[in-house]
A = this chain, B = another copy of it.
Amino acid sequence: LSTTFTAVTSDAVRRLNLSRLLRQVHVHGNLTRSELVADTGLNRSTVAGLIREFEDVGLVEEVAGRAGGVGRPSLGVAPIPSAAVVAAFDVRVDHVVAAVMGLGGVILARTETEIPDSQSGPDDLVRALVQTCEQMFHEVPEGAAWVGTGVSLPGVIDPESGWVRVAPNLGWRDVDLAALLADALAEHFSGSPAVALANDANAGVLAEVNRGAGRSLSDLIFLLADVGIGAGIMVGGRLMTGTSGFAGEVGHLIVNPNGRSCRCGNRGCWETEIGRDAVLRTGTGNRVSVEQVMDAARAGDENAILGLKEMIGWLGIGLVNLINSFNPQAIILGGHLSALMEALDADIRDTLPTLWSASSNQLQLVTPTLGQDASLIGAAELAFEDLLSNPLVEFERSPHLVSA
């Protein structure tokens, strides 16, 4: 039996090992050396060497480990949040939620900004984001490395070009937002890092898989209900974008062929039946927020209750259609969908049409653990991707924040 050799440079192996280890520490936080050995599949001395490298540059520190059964607790390795940070933005129809997230997922600064006129265009938005960034950085410890910027928005991102193809609720078409924002940031902050962009539901599913209700799942659907309805869909552990970024555009599933007219030209689209406007139309019709309608239902307003119950019917038809198409492990009901179930004190499972799938008992229908912040956190996770793929090189090349 002869043996051939394939040359692999130590740089590539080292980069991969650093990446594996830092990703574990970033996602799971304080881990013992034994846990890191088990999670990365690397041997003990390799893990020790990698930890030393990260300690040397100040990305991780050794801390008292969690007490595990008898004996003294072993030392743990924890991320240092202020060592490396990202700026993250969740652009919604009428406001922006922004945050600075540190390594390990700690939110170091957070702010919400109104966008007075959502139709004002990408340039105004970009100006607002740069300003917000500047404000937030005042709250971040000096010396932090700024390793990335992430933006989540309610629009379709072309997987090849990275352009926003269409964002109907923002009134946008074919906008290279990543380049616009990167350029504007570079004008204000010398050496500012790259900008990553994601559809809001796709950002949401990434966050829930990393830090929320989807942990350890490979096949799940994150539904985000706001003005529109979008889905972030993971198939076999991979985010599904479709041929041109339009996968998961489930707001335009036709659930009620005789239903209300949708702006897309069809009738009874899922978002015309269960989106925000449908909630606001429910009951007396003079309520201006989803929360007011939910409150009315909780208080026993019969019109509100009847209206929301009808919506649950359309919710169920869409869910059954997704379940029969994807057979996922879980569906996470984001945006106002969980509030809807809670307001009616209803169990979504009882209100679903009959499920064909014999495995429906195993299907998890759950609330997002991260609440309204799922897309924001997903944007931050995307922004960390460069650092996590090539830790020491990216850390070195990133600008460090100094007080203005």
A interface residues (Cβ-Cβ under 8 A, vs B) = 1-11, 13, 156, 165-166, 219, 231, 233, 235-236, 238, 240-258, 264-266, 317, 320-329, 353-354, 356-359, 362-363
Q: Which B residue's beta carbon lies closest to that of A317? A: B254
Decide if A246 touches B324 in the complex (CB within 8 Å). yes
Residue on B nearest A264 in the bound complex, by CB? B356
Give the contacting residue for A254; candidates B8, B238, B243, B321; CB below 8 A: B321
> Is A250 a contact partner of B3 (Cβ separation < 8 A)?
no
B6 contacts A8, C-beta separation under 8 Å: yes
B8–A1 contact, CB under 8 A? no
Q: What are the residues of chain B within 8 A of A255 when measuring CB–CB?
A: 254, 257
Chain B residues closer than 8 Å to A317, beta-carbon distance: 254, 257
Within the assembled complex, what's the spacing in Å between the Cα atoms of A256 and B254?
9
- 8 tightest Cβ-Cβ pairs between the two chains A and B: A242-B327, A265-B354, A244-B359, A246-B327, A252-B356, A246-B357, A247-B327, A5-B5
Q: Chain B residues near A324: list those with CB within 8 A.
A: 246, 249-253
Contact status of A7 and B7, CB under 8 A, knowing A243-B219, A253-B324: no
For the complex, give the distance between the alpha carbons of A111 and B104 in Å. Answer: 63
- In contact, A327 and B243 (Cβ under 8 angstroms): yes
**Residues from chain B with Cβ under 8 Å of A253 in the complex:** 320-321, 324-325
Inter-chain CA distance A8–B8, complex, in Å, is: 12
Q: Give the complex CA separation of A8 and B256 in angstroms.
A: 58
Collect the chain B residues with CB atoms within 8 Å of residue A233's CB: 325
Q: List 10 A-B contacts (CB under 8 A).
A: A3-B7, A4-B8, A156-B358, A242-B327, A242-B328, A244-B358, A248-B325, A249-B324, A255-B257, A325-B325
Nearest-CB residue, chain B, relative to A354: B265
